[in-house]
Amino acid sequence: MAWTADKVASFIEDNPEMAEALTVLMDASDDGDRALEWKDVKDTNGMDSGRWGRLIQTDLLVDSDDGFKIADPEAVQKALDGDLTVSSSSVDLDEASSGSSWRTEDKVAGVVALAMMAGYYYTPIRNVVGSTIDVVFQPLNNVLPFYAVILAIALLTGLYSTLLQANMVDQSKVKGIQKKMQDINEREKAAKERGDDDALDKIQEEKMDAIGDQGEMMKENFRPMAWIMLLTIPAFLWMYWMIRDGHLNTAIEGGMIMPIFGEHGWQEGVGPMPAWIIWYFLCSMGFTQLIRKTLDLDATPT
């Protein structure tokens, strides 16, 4: 969410204790010019880990390469100076902290995807989806061997899955929550080493409060899954339809030689699953990891 001065003023009005925390941040960051880490402000009056985490969760503190920066220092300063009155259009706290809630279209996509999953067991649905998607993939199948078609589908699904996650997941929020949990764990370890039971009790309370943050992170990560399933299930059903329902010329496309597993027919089992599913997942996982590294979409905190 883009913070403006009146939205910051509204936030402070609803949470008066946060004014002191924002003042600490402005002073410690030279009026927002430099990035901060928790260690820079943790011993300052007016700031505690709960307020620090709240500012990250509401996107007043945003992740940067060097730490966390105030999203809009000018707006924060105006709000702290009291130069504003809160407008009726100001955002409330629920809006600031619920950016990852599922919208109606997300729920519809999830329901449609689940309905198509019935095609794995119900032949009429599989025939409808398979014959429809065949219009898209059959030209590719006419010029490439089937193992290469599966490889191309794996590349396509890996690409749009990664792009959907990149555009629908707030990576800065996810990283912020991860950094907060990392900091709690480090302080807990230090408190255990010095035998500080009082500090451990406070840290345990922070951990309980952080459960809500972890739920927020899970919502951020799972929301794109509805759209990924909506696009992936039809492609997967088409492969199932081609191989299991006899639409693939097995006299020409009898199977392939897979790494490690050797030569297998498409319907032959490789462990608990058929060869074609194993081949698809190997290709998909490899391409997805490559694309994520290329686009620098790793959500692990540095």
- Domain end call among 97, 121, 155: 97
Other beta carbons within 10 Å of 219: 15
Supply 15's token pair.
């949470």
Q: Which of these three, 36, 64, 97, is where a domain ends?
A: 97
pTM of the model: 0.54
Has residue 158 been placed in a domain?
Answer: yes
Q: How far apart are CA 64 and CA 172, in angstroms?
A: 8
The Cα–Cα gap between 268 and 277 comes to: 10
My answer on whether 30 and 163 are in the same domain is no
Task: Dump pLDDT digits (tens) for 103-137.
Answer: 788 888 888 988 888 888 888 888 898 889 989 88
Task: Identify any residues that bridge with 69 across adjacent strands, giving them in sequence order.
Answer: 62
Nearest to 177 by CA among 289, 101, 97, 288: 97
Helix (H, G, I), strand (E, B) or coil at 208: helix
Final residue of a domain: which of 38, 73, 97?
A: 97
Residues 283 and 151 in one domain: yes
Count of domains in the chain? 2
Domain of 143, in residue numbers: 104-174+212-294
The mean pLDDT of 47-52, rounded to a whole number, is 80
Where are any strands of DSSP class E within the chain?
Answer: 61-64, 67-70, 255-258, 262-265, 269-270, 273-274
Question: Is 239 within the bounds of a domain?
Answer: yes
Strand, coil or helix: 141: helix
Does 12 lie in the same domain as 140?
no
Q: Quick one: pLDDT band at residue 97, thresholds 50, 70, 90?
A: very low
In the numeric block, which tokens belong to residue 207? Answer: 């951990």
Q: What sign does the dihedral 47-53-58-63 (CA atoms) show?
A: positive
What DSSP character marks residue 34?
A: S
Name which of 89, 98, 25 is nearest 62 in CA terms.
Answer: 25
> Does residue 113 share a domain with residue 15?
no
End-to-end CA distance of the chain: 24
Give the pLDDT score at 86. Answer: 36
pLDDT confidence tier of residue 156, bands split at 50, 70 and 90: very high
- Top pLDDT among 278 and 1 is at 278
Q: What is the pLDDT of residue 252?
A: 56
Residues 217 and 277 in one domain: yes
